[in-house]
Structure 1
Amino acid sequence: MRNTLDPTKLNAALDAVHRAGMPGLFAEVRDGGHVWRGAAGFADDVAGRPVTPRMRHRVGSITKTFTAAAVLQQVESGRAGLDTPIGRYLPDLVPGGRGDAITVRMLLNHTSGLAEYLPYAYPSLKAFPVLADTGPESLDDHRFTRFQPAELIGMGVTAPAVGAPGGTPGVYSNTNYLLLGELLGRVTGTTAERYITRNVIERAGLQDTELPAGPYVGGPHSQMYEAWFGMIDPPRDYSVYDMSWVGPAASLISTVTDLNLFFGRLLAGEIVSPSSLAEMQRTVPVVSQEGRTIDYGLGLHPMEAAGQDTFWGHGGTAWGAGALAMIRADGRRRMTVAVNLQRWNRLDSWGRPQPHPIDDALAELYRVAMYG
């Protein structure tokens, strides 16, 4: 089988992102049995320590695909129903009429109408998504805060609804996936973290992936720099951070190799059944946290890429860390990229993120990675 991976072009595209202003990034691209891994820039911008392709990294909302797969496994076992009201499982967390109206499927595809809890947990983000009126102070205040899921869920459930249950477009909200974590706990008799570890991470054969119990990233890893739209200048390292603020919604630590392996096995029907995978790929319009309307399935969505092929995957951010994983529908071509700077775009006078050379360089990297 012909190898369509061009190391010279891939390395050049990776270097271009670093030159555009990204402190460090690393990636793995697979085409059938052929594999390329690369890295550019620094894991520590002060000491000059280089990044490497095998570093462990916080991958943010890519966690949602793992949590969704775990929920679909429970649907397959008959312990949960996609179109069963969440109030049947969690009447204490989503009481009354809303608990009767919001289904498990609506949590998975962000059409529940439940608000994002983040601006309530982090007071300096209270104006989110009006970025110009936010500030980064709460990020430092909560570096070692141990949030309880019920506390965060309560913030989202009691906040003004962002839509009617089942209405479209939906609105992306981490509240949905914290509730799914609690659902997993109720129907499996263990914690969501333990269940996902045993039945998704270990089933996929992942060696360097975990839902962390503490604030540290074990093993080789990069510092993770947060700029908060130029309000943190120079960007500050948030690699040590208690991730209970997102839990089963976005706390995963992984590697680019593990994520490519996971998405390959997911699309091959080895993590959930083919019928469950088909449910994950049924999409509805959802407004993302960036304000764009995207098609979103159940913890999985089609990715934008130049060309005619369909790619599936997920992106994710945490404070200072970001990643993007995508796989062609036939499972052959796949890519995961990790970056160690977030929210690099400064804001204009209207509070809108301004274009940055990093954006164009990343788009070109994705194009080269997926199409050569």
Structure 2
Amino acid sequence: MRFFRKLGLALAALAVPAVAQAPNQLQPKLPLVPTHQVATPQSVPVTPGGPASLSKADVDAWLDGYMPYAMATGEIPGAVVVVVKDGQVLTKRGFGYSDRKTHKPVDPDMTMFRPGSISKLFTWTAVMQQVQAGKLDLDRDINDYLDFKIPPAFGKPVTLRNLMTHTAGFEETLKYLITANPKIVKPLGPTLSRAVPVRIFAPGEVPAYSNYGASLAGYIVQRVSGEKFEDYVQHHIMVPLGMTRSTFQQPLPPALKDGLSQAYEPGSDAPKPFEIIPLSPAGALSATGADMAKFMIAHLADGGPLLNPETAHQMYAPANAPVPGLPGMALGFYHEDRNGQIIIAHGGDTNYFHSDLHLYLKSNVGLFLSFNSPGKEGAAHVLRTRLFDDFTDRYFPQTPVNLPTVATAKEHGAAIAGHYVSSRGAQTDWLKFIGVVSETKVTLNPDNTITVSDFTDPAHNPRKWREVGPWQWQDVNGTARLHAIVKDGKVTAFLNSDLPQILLFMPASASTNAGWIMPALYLSLGVSLLMAIGWPIVALIRRSYGYKPALSGRALQLHRAARITAWLFLLIAAGWVMIVSSVSSNLEAFNGGMDLPMRLLQLLTLVATVGTALSCWNAYVAFKAADRRWWKYGWAGLFALSGLFLVWLAFTMKLMTFSLNY
């Protein structure tokens, strides 16, 4: 199960704007690095009696005591960190190498990184420019702007406001998300119309982060402006800001190609190919740290030359907060307010680059950071978390409030306990099963605190949460909060303050609850394994003793059909493990490479379905047999039940589908 769980966490995170402080469910690929592997800034203490001075000298000294050791122990080749304040660059720092082989250092002015989903901020800015120009209406049906149709669902149209708050209701899709093969990439319009994701929630009701939705917004900008999306961003955002070493073009234009940082897998010195994002408005940006400083400065100046103040304020204001009491979503930006600061932000991840952007609106301060590798055991994600948390606490400190535990802790802890699925998931394809095996489990502890399986500290220890208000919990060892949505005394969703409101954790239904499905799966496969290996073993024993079984005719044929079916189930299970392993280690497999194996497995599943029917018949014949030995018909019946469960699981988890879009 650990293998499938890791894959589930990996798939959930691809190109996600994982907040620097996101839990494992949103962290790409690997578990967090233990605490002893990441340095903390011990060398530059906070100024006694108040916050440290937010000056270039202090920030540089702090980073010098923070970054080099953390990157070395985390095996992160290169990084860039930029801080802006009051309309100026406070500091811009490159750390490590953009090319390990040549020892080429990271230069914040020249070295380009891939900020992943931070690209969406450019897309949302472009949308707001067109809203400001009167060409787009945030609350109009987006079908009015498209040359293909988003199919009707739930009796409500999808609007740009829905897209910008990730409440359009689209299910998650991963096919053709990232590739290194430019031959499979189509123009933006055909890419979006190739396969429209199913809408699994009514618009405006449930946040479910969507790369597809953001790309729709970019395509709408392209349609109403008459310019290709990447050209529009170049002409209306990058040129006005003087972002001369940034682009959405894929592959990079020749003039910029040599400036791109190499990308690295953990433990490897071999650079990886350029990652192409077919849904380009969702994550195709390449930019230097210095250029990202210009983008931050513009937004901190009420939109600067990009937006007028009224439009900018509309963009930054909270627009959706399904979980009351936690920072909400703005239009495109998400809020991560803390320490008395209003902070809007976005994060971004490709396979290899991992980045964050934070804007402290009240203080006119911006922080951007990017790494060119996930590092050893996901060290870059720990470092992202620590940098943001410690930067905020260092320069904007606030004394935490220690609230008492409320009397309802045990009652409400028992009510929230159970299995939960992320709203950012799939319901109509095989990724549904990955979501089930990577479910989040909430447990009530003997001391009336709760633990959430995906919320752990960097050393993988579960974080405990105690109730400090009605349906509100606080991290026992920190200030993070967890709030639940309750209806008629039942928890319908929860989220913690470490995550933006781009998804919810929702109770797993009976048909998707891993609490019983996974034990039943293991038991069923175990029965199939015993049935499969027992067949030749028993045959050899009988042959050695010269024993001839009494079975013949139809009874013998049914007996053999049941054993063949057992082998089929094992073959199908092994095939899915191989597919999962392939896409986990090579995302190109998502781009059609697994289609034929999936079709073969689906064909085998159809044969196994017929075999299961024959196995049920075999159990009936064994029960009706003259000798009626209980172990014979009991075992036959147990295998028939196991087969029925496995067939039900295959169809319920959407392993059997007509479409191979996922």
| TM-score, normalised relative to structure 2 | 0.46
C-alpha distance after superposition, 1:93-147 (max 9, x if no partner): 4244579610111111111012333x2326xxxxxxxxxxxxxxx856x465323
Which of 37, 40, 43 pairs up with 2:95? 40
Cα distance in structure 2, aligned partners of 1:110 and 1:188: 23
Shift of 1:67: 1.0
Alpha-carbon distance in structure 1 between the residues aligned to 2:117 and 2:94 = 22
2:275 to 236, 241, 246: 241
Matches of 1:236 and 1:308, distance apart in 2: 44
1:44 is aligned with what amino acid? D
1: CA distance, partners of 2:382 / 2:230: 36
Residues 1:301 and 2:323 aligned together: no
Measured at CA, do residues 34 and 181 of structure 1 come closer, stay the same or move farther in structure 2, by a change above 3 Å? closer
Give per-residue Cα distances to partners, 1:188-241, cap 9 Å, x unaligned. Answer: 1221222221112222232222111425652423211245xxxxx648633523
1:144/1:24 CA distance change after superposition, 3 Å:
farther
**What is the match of residue 25 of structure 1?**
79
Larger Rg: 2
Return the alpha-carbon distance in structure 1 between the equivalents of residues 297 and 69 of structure 2: 28
1:286/1:294 contact within 8 Å kept: no
State the one-letter code of the partner of 2:65: A
- 2:244 maps to 207
Q: Does 1:104 align with 2:189?
A: no
Residue 217 of structure 2 corresponds to 180
Deviations 1:284-330 (A, max 9, x none): 2589xxxxx9732222122366x332222211122311221112113
RMSD of aligned residue pairs (Cα, Å): 2.9
SS state at 1:336 partner: strand
Q: Which moved more, 1:73-82 or 1:85-94?
A: 85-94
- C-alpha distance 309-3 of structure 1, shift in aligned 2 (>3 A): closer
Tell me the equivalent position of 2:69. 16
Larger RCO, structures 1/2 (Cα 8 Å, 6+ apart):
1
The counterpart of 1:263, out of the listed 279, 289, 296, is 296
Aligned to 1:284: 320
Contact (CA 8 Å) 2:356, 2:384: kept in 1 or not? no
Measured at CA, do residues 72 and 143 of structure 1 come closer, stay the same or move farther in structure 2, by a change above 3 Å? Answer: same
- Mark the runs of 5 or more structure 2 residues left unpaired by the alignment: 1-52, 396-662
Give the corresponding residue for 2:371.
Answer: 339
Pairs within 5 Å for 1:119-134: 119-121=174-176
Match for residue 52 of structure 1? 107
Q: Distance in 2 between matches of 1:304 and 1:339?
A: 24
> 2:198, 2:102 → 1: CA distance?
46
Q: Who is 1:134 aligned against?
A: none
Residue type of the alignment partner of 2:72: R
Pair 1:116-2:172 in alignment:
yes
Query: Of 130, 148, 168, which residue of structure 2 is paired with 1:74?
Result: 130
> In structure 2, how many angstroms separate the alpha carbons of the residues matched to 1:171 and 1:20?
35
* Counterpart Cα distance in 2 of 1:98 and 1:321: 37
User: What is the CA–CA distance in structure 1 between the aligned matches of 2:73 and 2:209, rounded to whole Å?
Assistant: 29
2:344 counterpart SS class: strand
Moved more, 31-40 or 308-317: 31-40
Contact 2:179–2:275, Cα closer than 8 Å, also in 1: no
Q: Distance in 1 between matches of 2:251 and 2:151?
A: 31
Matched residue type, 1:15 = P
Counterpart of 2:184 in 1: which secondary structure? coil
Indicate whether 1:327 and 2:327 are aligned. Answer: no
Decide whether aligned partners of structure 1 residues 304 and 144 sit closer, same or farther in structure 2, where only a CA change above 3 A counts. farther
One-letter amino acid of the counterpart of residue 196, structure 1: V
Cα distance in 1 for partners of 2:214, 2:106 equals 31
Question: In 2, Cα distance between the equivalents of 1:338 and 1:187?
Answer: 33
Q: Does residue 250 of structure 1 match 2:283?
A: yes
Distance 1:10 1:191 in 2: 40
Separation in structure 2 between the aligned mates of residue 208 and residue 215 of structure 1, nearest angstrom: 11
Structure 1 residues 303, 19: CA separation in 2 closer, same or farther (over 3 Å shift)? farther
Identity %: 23
Question: What SS does the corresponding residue of 1:30 show, helix, strand or coil?
Answer: strand
Opposite residue 292 of structure 2, the aligned amino acid is L
In 2: Cα distance, 1:184 partner to 1:17 partner: 41
Question: Given residue 187 of structure 2, which amino acid in structure 1 is its aligned partner?
Answer: Q
Write the deviation string for residues 310-354 of structure 1: whole angstroms up to 9, x where unpaired.
222211122311221112113522211110013854xxxxxxxxx
| In 1: Cα distance, 2:215 partner to 2:270 partner | 27
Which one of the candidate residues 346, 364, 371 is aligned to 1:314? 346
Distance in 2 between residues matched to 1:342 and 1:294, nearest whole Å? 27
Deviations 1:19-44 (A, max 9, x none): 23122111112233462222222222
Query: 2:249 aligns to what SS in structure 1?
Result: coil
Specify which structure has the higher proportion of helix.
2
Instruction: Assess if the C-alpha contact under 8 Å between 2:162 and 2:204 holds in 1.
Output: yes
The residue matched to 2:65 in structure 1 has which SS?
Answer: helix
SS in structure 2 of the partner of residue 120 of structure 1: coil
CA–CA distance in 1 between the matches of 2:152 and 2:381?
44
Alpha carbons 2:247, 2:286 under 8 Å: kept: yes
Judge conservation of contact 2:328–2:335 (CA < 8 Å) in 1: yes
Distance 1:366 1:248, change over 3 A: same
The alpha-carbon deviation at position 262 of structure 1 amounts to 1.0
1:88 CA drift (Å):
1.2
- 1:63: how far off? 1.2
Equivalenced residue count is: 330
Match of residue 223 from structure 1: 262
How many angstroms apart in 2 are the aligned matches of 1:263 and 1:156? Answer: 35
AA at the equivalent of 1:103: T
One-letter identity of the residue aligned with 2:248: L
Report the CA distance shift for 1:98/1:60 in structure 2 as closer, same or farther (over 3 A).
farther
Structure 1 residues not aligned, in runs of 5+? 123-137, 228-232, 288-292, 346-355
Q: Does the CA-based 8 Å contact 2:335-2:345 persist in structure 1?
A: yes
Q: Give, as a single letter, the amino acid of the residue that structure 2 aligns with 1:8.
A: A
| SS of residue paired to 1:220 | coil
Deviations 1:40-83 (A, max 9, x none): 22222344333232211111111111111111111111111000
